[in-house]
Amino acid sequence: MFVGDLTSIPLCDNSIDIVYTSHTIEPNGGQEKPILEELYRVARNYLILFEPDYELAGYEARARMDKHGYVKNLQGVAVDLGYDVVKHKLLDICSNPLNPTSVMIIKKSDSLGRFEGSPFRCPNTKQALLNCGEVYFAPDSYLMYPVIQGLPCLLENQAILGCKYEPAR
């Protein structure tokens, strides 16, 4: 677990076997493309989205989604990005008809080998981070990210400049 930003995920490329969401990106209308690009970038094999589906929803549900700024056209954006959408359908069971959920499964074109090392990367410089216990450290830029009660805070605006910091060897 870590704190991060959906449009600048602090993980290395292809570092997570299967990335899935469950109503995670729903309130980010207008950010569909950058969020899908980031989720796809960190996924190694599959990206599985369980999100409200504006296009498959009824009129009343669409009005509610418009009011709350929900994402739209996730399948269209994925196809426009050239992603291989192997499944897209509305779920059979829906606890809230005003928030109908679909599943979309995107397969990455080339399954990559096992990822080695720390999956975390600096959200500012994109370089790999060193786990130094109390901080994650980017040695080339001297940026440090705090670990608070075991939870790495890997947000761009949480970086601390540690020009005199020397990680333990």
pLDDT recorded at residue 113? 67
**Whether 126 and 68 share a structural domain:** no
- 139: domain CATH number is 2.20.25.10
pLDDT recorded at residue 46? 96
Q: What does the pLDDT look like over 1-52, one tens digit per residue? A: 899 999 999 999 999 999 999 999 999 999 999 999 999 999 999 999 999 9
Q: Is residue 103 part of a domain?
A: yes
Q: What does the pLDDT look like over 50-91, one tens digit per residue? A: 999 999 999 999 999 999 999 999 999 999 999 999 999 999
Q: Is residue 87 part of a domain?
A: yes
Measured at the CA of 102, the angle between CA 97 and CA 44, to 5 degrees, comes to: 155
Residues in the chain: 169
Task: Determine if residue 34 is left, alpha or beta; phi over 0 gives left, psi from -120 to 50 gives alpha, anything else beta.
Answer: alpha
Number of structural domains (the chain) is: 2
How many of the other CB atoms lie within 10 Å of CB of 165?
14
- 55: domain CATH number is 3.40.50.150
Mean pLDDT over 91-97 rounds to: 88
pLDDT at residue 147 greater than cutoff 90 = yes
The parent domain of residue 139 ranges over 120-169
Measured between its terminal Cα atoms, the distance across the chain in Å is: 25
